[in-house]
Amino acid sequence: MLSERMQTALNQQINEEMYSAYIYLSMAAYFHGLNLDGFANWMRIQYQEETAHAMKFYDYIYERGGDVTLLPIAGPPKTWESPLHVFQEAYNHECKVSGLINELVNLAIEEKDHATLNFLQWFVSEQVEEEASADKIVQSLRLIDGNPAALFMLDREMAQRSPEEDEDEE
């Protein structure tokens, strides 16, 4: 059974994961508007991942006898200065989510909730991958430094990302 504090915190995390999905979908729309369909593809897959993360929390709450309370989702930004700025924001967002997961871990430790602590370990590992993935693209975009041909090549590389590839990592 989940404590009231843990249930509330996990419900808030569902909201955070859904906001993450929203921001990535908004980023996909931004890239579609620039005809950078490879980047849009990468962001759409990220959107799907974040939705799956929210559902993991949703299912876990019910597995532990809790109740899910869905909260309003804030609207994400819809424009950015450049592809680099988009991925810098994505990286910063993943760092924020890592902090939120760490706070949940701290609460589970404080509450001596070993089941939730165990459940959260997957998210701790996942966030390491999420940060590294976004940072790698930030570094690539910095190297490109606005070169249109290089941006086109990176966009084509982003088009190769598939949901199946990400499922293997989960």
Phi, psi of 160, rounded to the nearest 5 degrees? -80, -15
- Please name the residue that has the structure tokens 């991925």: 87
Q: CA nearest 80: which of 16, 23, 152?
A: 23
The CATH fold assigned to 4-169 is Ferritin (1.20.1260)
CB 80, CB 89: distance < 8 Å: yes
Full pLDDT tens readout for the chain, 170 residues? 999 999 999 999 999 999 999 999 999 999 999 999 999 999 999 999 999 999 999 999 999 999 999 999 999 999 999 999 999 999 999 999 999 999 999 999 999 999 999 999 999 999 999 999 999 999 999 999 989 999 999 999 999 999 866 655 55
Enter the pTM of the model: 0.93
Residue 94 to residue 142: CA distance in whole angstroms: 19
Distance linking the first and last C-alpha atoms of the chain: 26
Predicted local distance difference test score (pLDDT) of residue 166: 61
CB 45, CB 162: distance < 8 Å: yes
Residue 86 to residue 89: CA distance in whole angstroms: 5
Predicted local distance difference test score (pLDDT) of residue 146: 83
